[in-house]
Amino acid sequence: MVFWVFGYGSLVWNPGFEYDEKVIGFIKDYRRVFDLACIDHRGTPEDPARTCTLEHIEGAVCWGAAYCVRGRPEKERAAMQYLERRECEYDQKTLVDFFKETDPLRPALSGVIVFTSTPDKVSNKYYLGPAPLEEMACFSIKIFRQIATAVGPCGNNRDYLFSLEKAMFDIGHEDDLVIELANEVRKVLGTMAKEKKLVGSPLKPLKSQTQPQIPTVQLHLLPPEAVAMDL
């Protein structure tokens, strides 16, 4: 018994389950997008994080890592149960062909499992839909930055994004959308840091309070008999 699963988000750098083989490659006709809400790992129901899912687009390519689990049935069952708990926001398991860079025309593997989400806000409560970069980096209702500030039991949203950016760099296939979004979030964090510094700065003392004090000289009149007369 054996199964393969394709990771394109946090599974790329943190699979979290026992596997027998890892292969870098890509799947076709899908692209990575940040359209899925995460309320139990990197966010909360009140302040959901944005994590990536796949959007079906003809001719697109999505790079990532395929993991093989083979051996005892209980080993496969344990890995799949772990994945289903972890990927609970994804409501579909899709079977895809997996390609290697050395042969981009012929599939290296077929029937590879990939967790995807239905792009429908009615049937899929976790689907947020597409949004411009400036909206994704800003939680408009509370004027907080969504990706920059969302935090959940497994960490914050921005570290998820930055870790994905690094993971794609490490495997030699950077994603322009990930890079662009990461740069936008860095700008937001820089602005927030400046605002925090301004709010927390102590009051600057007045100039008169910082200058050295000149001692005051008091003059006293001498009595007449103490005044020397030059006759």
Active-site positions read 87
- With beta carbons less than 8 A apart as the criterion, state whether 32 and 54 touch: yes
Residue matched to tokens 């990939």: 114
User: d(Cα 150, Cα 38) in Å, to the nearest integer?
Assistant: 10
Angle between helices 157-170 and 176-200 (to 10 degrees): 140
User: d(Cα 198, Cα 12) in Å, to the nearest integer?
Assistant: 39
User: d(Cα 144, Cα 46) in Å, to the nearest integer?
Assistant: 12
- With beta carbons less than 8 A apart as the criterion, state whether 144 and 189 touch: no
Sign of the Cα torsion 160, 165, 168, 171 reads: negative
- With beta carbons less than 8 A apart as the criterion, state whether 64 and 8 touch: yes
User: d(Cα 231, Cα 225) in Å, to the nearest integer?
Assistant: 15
Burial of 136 per CB tally in 10 Å (0-12, 13-18, 19+): buried
User: d(Cα 162, Cα 125) in Å, to the nearest integer?
Assistant: 26
